[in-house]
Structure 1
Amino acid sequence: MPNPKSSSHVRFAAVGDIHVHKDAAGTLRSFFAQAADEADALLLCGDLTDYGTAEEAKVLAEELGAVPIPIVAVLGNHDFESGTPERVTEALTHAGVCVLDGAACEIEGVGIAGTKGFAGGFGRGSLGAWGEPAIKLFVQEALNEAMKLESALAKLRTRRRIALLHYAPIAGTVQGEPVEIFPFLGSSRLEEPLLRYPMDAVFHGHAHRGTLEGRTISGVPVYNVAKPLLQRSRPDAPPFFLYELPREPATEEEPAAT
């Protein structure tokens, strides 16, 4: 039985790394329906398709077509694999999904800022923009994504705020992965904008063998909601992460000045 929607809280079902392939038609509808029964909105944290093809995106859009709650998404690296991420975005947008790429939206009084993010490493292990042009381009991509996140966060005007990423902004939620690949799972440069704005929570995917929860330097919870991680770490629960925030009380409009 679905949980009744709450009048005091807004509930979000968050999941990433669904990796929809061309033969997945019909396999995710019950999963999405269960998320819709539990939550007021669905958050998708990238790697929504397996190879980023138009065919896969069409299957995903059809699976999401019957979801009656708002859906907000960012793309992941797999959605770029075929070189046409715009096809994935187009299919999702046509299905009513709000795809964020350095942008923000609002759902039931909660502001959501999102971008894909990028790699580069964490803390003292972060790659610096020094040496060959290829290294500088790599680092610049991480900086560009961090600036996109900063821009999206600056657009929020709500008291309650969530950030949506694919790559991890902290090392804490990639713990469990081979340490050799940490630099390719996220970047501390994504954490920097999150420290400059008040946040309630951050969601990302990408690290299938990582850790469910960590915190930014400032104590904001960060959740790794990669579907394979959720399935493995919580085998008796649906493979989405349910998160809730208190609803903001409605404010009466001030009378117009006379």
Structure 2
Amino acid sequence: MSKVKIAAVADLHVKEDRSVSYTELFSEISRVADVLVIAGDLTDLGKPAEAELLVSDLKSCTIPVVAVLGNHDHQCNAVEEISSILVKAGVHLLDGQTVEIAGVEFAGTKGFIGGFGRHMLGAFGEAAIKTMVSESVDEAMRLENALRTAKTPRALVVLHYAPIAETVAGEPKEIYPFLGSSRLAETIDRFEVSAVVHGHAHKGVYEGQTPGGAPVFNVATHVEKPTGRPYAILEL
């Protein structure tokens, strides 16, 4: 079975003022990869107009596009409209689902906060804390439900929030609980997964692995990658 080249990037933060265009980048990616993955924060403030600008730039992308939303995409409470714009443009937008492309199963969800390892937040105390933990558990369950439907052992997990602390290293330790959750890694390690990509931690590091050994890559545009470009290339 031939390998599939996947270009993965996150945190594009497309702004309404069109201060940055990704047309040339998407054209470049189309020449070097078979699939483009965008791991959240496609827009800067979650405005439909920003999603429209992204879709305009994506016209230069001639390969399939898989994406999940990030926290910035939720800012203006227009998730349904943003999602509709992206899906109508042909983006495979994942929220607890999978899509198979070229023999690779892409399983995706946004993920959520909660912290890592023995510092992970528990559902104890005020109702607000319990609600927060419940949301984190729900996102992990969305991912689990997606992975249960995977039909091929070649699986790429697409998240926005980090599943491990290793790839957020470089961010202030005080904000680690807001960058991801070990619940995601616990879910991933119950399945056969080829790799995991995420964003969100702009000052994090590129590579790490789950406790079970699944490779994890922080593909935020701000993170230095082996390609020397804003995107990483993974071969599965």
TM-score range, shorter chain: over 0.9
TM-score (norm 2): 0.97
Report the residue type matching 1:243 in the other structure. Answer: L
What is the CA–CA distance in structure 1 between the aligned matches of 2:18 and 2:230, rounded to whole Å? 17
Could you tell me which of 80, 83, 86 is aligned with 1:89?
83
Residue 25 of structure 1 deviates from its aligned partner by 7.4
Consecutive unaligned residues of structure 1, counting only runs of 5 or more, are 1-6, 246-258
Rate the CA distance shift 1:116–1:210 in 2: closer, same or farther, 3 A: same
Equivalent residue number for residue 69 of structure 1: 63
Question: Which segments of structure 1 move beyond 4 Å, counting only runs of 4 or more?
Answer: none
- Contact 1:16–1:227, Cα closer than 8 Å, also in 2: yes
Secondary structure of 2:222's aligned partner: helix
What is the CA–CA distance in structure 2 between the aligned matches of 1:143 and 1:56, rounded to whole Å? 30
Residue 208 of structure 1 deviates from its aligned partner by 0.1
Work out the number of aligned pairs and report it: 236
Report the residue type matching 1:44 in the other structure. Answer: I
What is the CA–CA distance in structure 2 between the aligned matches of 1:211 and 1:95, rounded to whole Å? 32
Equivalent residue number for residue 153 of structure 2: 159
Equivalent residue number for residue 238 of structure 1: 229
What is the CA–CA distance in structure 1 between the aligned matches of 2:184 and 2:214, rounded to whole Å? 13
What is the CA–CA distance in structure 2 between the aligned matches of 1:205 and 1:87, rounded to whole Å? 22
Residue 192 of structure 1 deviates from its aligned partner by 1.2
- Contact 1:26–1:63, Cα closer than 8 Å, also in 2: no
What is the CA–CA distance in structure 2 between the aligned matches of 1:229 and 1:172, rounded to whole Å? 13
Could you tell me which of 177, 186, 196 is aligned with 1:183?
177
Structural mapping, 1:1-258, within 5 Å: 8-24=2-18, 27-230=21-224, 237-245=228-236
- Contact 1:119–1:167, Cα closer than 8 Å, also in 2: yes
Secondary structure of 1:181's aligned partner: helix
RMSD over equivalenced CA pairs, Å: 1.3
Secondary structure of 1:58's aligned partner: helix
Q: Which has the larger radius of gyration?
A: 1
What's the CA shift string for 1:67-100, capped at 9, x where partnerless?
Answer: 1100000000000000111122111111100000
Residue 23 of structure 1 deviates from its aligned partner by 2.2
- Contact 1:114–1:165, Cα closer than 8 Å, also in 2: yes
Secondary structure of 1:229's aligned partner: coil
What is the CA–CA distance in structure 2 between the aligned matches of 1:86 and 1:224, rounded to whole Å? 26
- Contact 1:62–1:95, Cα closer than 8 Å, also in 2: no
- Residue identity over aligned pairs, in percent, reads 50
What is the CA–CA distance in structure 1 between the aligned matches of 2:112 and 2:7, rounded to whole Å? 23
What is the CA–CA distance in structure 1 between the aligned matches of 2:3 and 2:122, rounded to whole Å? 42
What is the CA–CA distance in structure 2 between the aligned matches of 1:76 and 1:93, rounded to whole Å? 16
- Contact 2:171–2:204, Cα closer than 8 Å, also in 1: yes
Residues 91-100 or 7-16, more deviating: 7-16
- Contact 1:57–1:87, Cα closer than 8 Å, also in 2: no
Secondary structure of 2:132's aligned partner: helix
Residue 19 of structure 1 deviates from its aligned partner by 0.2
Residue 26 of structure 1 deviates from its aligned partner by 7.3
What's the CA shift string for 1:173-229, capped at 9, x where partnerless?
Answer: 001100000000000011111011001000000000001000011111000000011
Report the residue type matching 1:83 in the other structure. Answer: N
Report the residue type matching 1:218 in the other structure. Answer: G
